[in-house]
Amino acid sequence: MKRLALLFLLAFVPAPSAALADGCPLPCSGQSSSPPGAKLLFAQAAGPGGSLIAYNTANRQAVFALPPGMASADGRAYYAGFSFRQRTFLKRFDVATAMLRGDWIVPGSWRLQGVSPTGRWAALARRLAGKTQLLIFDGQHGRQAHVMTLRGNFEVETISRDGKRLFLIEHFAGRQYNVREYDLSREQLVANPLRAQGVKIMAGYAWSGVASPDGRWLLTLYLSTPGKLAFVHSLDLERSRPACIGLPSGKAFEKLKRYSLTLAPNGETLYAANPALGVVAVVDLAESKMRRVTRFAATAPVAGAHPATLSTISRNGRTMYFSAGRDLWAYDSAYGVVRGPYATGGKIVAVGYGAGDDRVFAVRKDGHMVAFRAANGERVG
């Protein structure tokens, strides 16, 4: 009965989206989300902020589901929140076991917008007349840590690992934005925006993203409608330094939405793969620039693009599997070679490695999990 309930939940979400590198819940990009002796693959079929379903790669069965929410970058904690009658119900779960670790009621109607890399703090926000009110909740001690009101339209990017800095996006008309830093220890907004080198004001809208488990990087795919451009907005959270890194783009704007971002295990390299454009770009995060571009035969994008990162990378960083929503491709990082496609038999909502990295699994929208040999893409079972 539990299995049927989980499949029912998965079958009726509106659109395919993503689990991140190795099947972690968004925005996890590591392998720390599974309990000892097991390997779980997590699917948020409705995209970031949607319901989370965990699959056991050993028996290909759904094992538990969590309500809509957000995970920490290290993949260990998961927050879910909803508002009802001017109260916000906030819950904190263990990602590996779905065990409830905290259950609180916050006065007022708030929306969950961010979780710190370790999962200790959660950021809630709400819009007032011409203002944005923000609340930082301490999940370790179960209390409100900060409440602030800012003039303008602000959105939470993330919270620093130590909980002393809050990173925000300040939105303006015409898709323009600034990156702002709020000093939580001094309870004040840092006067000057954080600007990328050579950029006065940034423009575009956030589509998808990943975060490093150690809390250093927040990496967001931005799309610019007028110029039909895609770029990575990298934010070094340790140095409070943003950068804009252009990606290979084309004239068809819809194809830009098929980029998947995957962080290498070393935390220094980002892979941006797009089957609709037939390209894999390798980005050096320290230098904020592309260092390699591999091209291959492009495929027609799956209809109905939604924010998605369908990709996974092996623990040694050698092989990345990625998708545009249906077939799989493999990228060999040592030789810069793409192989595939490998048919999954339908639209997919998650992809990840199994235990030992000898198998790659894809969860289809119909709830079925299919397996491939990681070494050559051969379908298993």
Q: What is the pLDDT of residues 197-216, one digit of tens each?
A: 767 667 788 888 889 988 99
Residues, the chain: 381
Q: Is residue 57 situated within a structural domain?
A: no
Is pLDDT above 50 for 3? no
How big is the chain by its Cα radius of gyration, in Å?
A: 20
Q: Is residue 13 situated within a structural domain?
A: no
Mark out the alpha helices in the chain (DSSP H runs).
Answer: 2-11, 253-256
Report the candidate in 182, 227, 229, 177 with the shortest Cα–Cα distance to residue 202: 177
pLDDT of res. 174 = 79
Number of structural domains found in the chain: 1
How large is the average pLDDT for residues 165-180?
A: 90
Q: How far apart are CA 363 and CA 211, in angstroms?
A: 22
**In this structure, what CATH number is given to the domain that contains residue 208?**
2.130.10.10
- Dihedral-angle region of residue 145 (phi above 0 means left; psi in -120 to 50 means alpha; beta otherwise): alpha
Q: Is residue 276 situated within a structural domain?
A: yes
pLDDT of res. 27 = 53
CB 309, CB 261: distance < 8 Å = yes
Q: Is residue 42 situated within a structural domain?
A: no
Q: Is residue 32 situated within a structural domain?
A: no
Dihedral sign for Cα 204, 210, 216, 217, please: negative
Q: What is the pLDDT of residues 241-283, one digit of tens each?
A: 999 999 999 878 888 989 999 999 988 999 999 999 999 999 9
Q: How far apart are CA 180 and CA 50, in angstroms?
A: 27
DSSP per residue, 243-268: EEEE----S-HHHHTT-EEEE-TTSS
Q: How far apart are CA 85 and CA 379, in angstroms?
A: 50
Domain of residue 163, residue span: 80-348+356-380
- Least confident range from 97-106, 132-141, 201-210: namely 201-210
Q: Is residue 186 situated within a structural domain?
A: yes
Q: Is residue 218 situated within a structural domain?
A: yes
